[in-house]
Amino acid sequence: MLWYRSWLETRWRFLIGLAVLMCAAAGIVLLWPKVVELLPVASNLQVSGRIGKQIRESVELQREYPSYIWSQWFGKNLTNMGTMFAALLGTGGLLSQRSGGLFMLSLPVSRKRLIWTQAATGLAELFVLVLVPSLLIPLLSPAVGKSYGWGDVLVHSACFFVVVAVFFSLASLLSTIFSDVWRPLLLAIAVASAMWYLELFALPRPHYGIFRVMSAETWFRNGQLPWQGLLASAAASAAMLYGAAVSIIRRDF
């Protein structure tokens, strides 16, 4: 029943996220022929500097279907929207619950169980949110005369989930500090944006950035899983969820 309650609390965020991401995934596949048409124009772009280099790299990635999918879906759309929906799913909980908070606390359930159920429900939803739209890609690829490996989808989705869970956990932790849904959401997105900016423009060795691990770039480029990044992300998520549980257990309501 606690699962059911957690589901009721997050279902609209989850369902909206799922619909948006599925549309985005389908759109990326179906736009491939248009991208092929535009490639000659994009190749003539003359931009200098670090941004220019990144644009040229990005254009190069669009030449092949697998690299196009990786860069557009796992590297951009899913990263941006997935991070936002992860933060959105992580918000809420006992503190910001508009109704039923005291009622929930009056039930014979420990706070530890409440928060773990909520976290587990959110993480399960996040996993579905990452996996199901990604599975649309190999499913729809024949429609544009291409194919994309199911195995690649599973590896990229798994890596993505492990890393994006960091932002879910951050929002969960912030939700035990602030009593509304907006501050945890905005702060988590602000942290993600700051990390993205650092990774793109300021980090001396961007290959180690969190978003590179999230898109499993090493798997795409040379078939190696970013184990260190994955383990560090999982540890960060676990620490933040533990912090959220401790915060809720100690709090007066």
Q: Which is nearer to other proteins, 190 or 249 (CB)?
A: 249
Q: Which is nearer to other proteins, 7 or 178 (CB)?
A: 7
Q: Which is nearer to other proteins, 48 or 110 (CB)?
A: 110
* DSSP per-residue string spanning 68-83: HHIIIIIIIIHHHHHH
Name the token pair of 112.
């530890």
> Binding residue for other proteins (CB under 8 A) from 40, 151, 204, 252?
252
Name the token pair of 198.
């650092």
- Using rule CB under 8 A, residue 197 touches other proteins: no
- Using rule CB under 8 A, residue 5 touches other proteins: yes
**Dist. CA 248–CA 21, nearest whole Å:** 32
Min CB(8)–other proteins separation in Å: 6
Question: What is the per-residue binding string for other proteins in 109-128, x denoting contact by CB under 8 A?
Answer: xxxx----------------
Please choose, out of 102-110, 168-176, 219-227, 238-246, the segment that lies near other proteins by the rule CB under 8 A: 102-110
Q: Go through 209-233 and write b for each residue having 16 or more CB atoms within 10 A of its CB, e for each that does not.
A: bbbbbbbbbbbbeeeeebeebbebb
Amino acid at 59: V
**Dist. CA 46–CA 251, nearest whole Å:** 57
Alpha carbon 174 to its chain's center: 17
> Binding residue for other proteins (CB under 8 A) from 44, 46, 99, 222?
99
Alpha carbon 228 to its chain's center: 18
Handedness of CA 198, 201, 203, 206 (dihedral sign): positive
**Dist. CA 129–CA 13, nearest whole Å:** 11
Min CB(155)–other proteins separation in Å: 38
**Dist. CA 37–CA 32, nearest whole Å:** 9
> Binding residue for other proteins (CB under 8 A) from 27, 52, 100, 142?
100
**Dist. CA 156–CA 80, nearest whole Å:** 15
Min CB(116)–other proteins separation in Å: 13
- Using rule CB under 8 A, residue 227 touches other proteins: no
> Binding residue for other proteins (CB under 8 A) from 26, 81, 101, 206?
101
Min CB(100)–other proteins separation in Å: 4
Please choose, out of 18-26, 49-57, 105-113, 221-229, the segment that lies near other proteins by the rule CB under 8 A: 105-113
- Using rule CB under 8 A, residue 15 touches other proteins: no
Name the token pair of 204.
């001396």
Residues making up the chain, counted from first to last: 253
Q: Which is nearer to other proteins, 107 or 235 (CB)?
A: 107
Size of the site for other proteins (CB under 8 A): 22
Q: Which is nearer to other proteins, 96 or 218 (CB)?
A: 96
Interface ranges with other proteins (CB under 8 A): 1, 4-5, 8, 98-103, 105-112, 249-250, 252-253
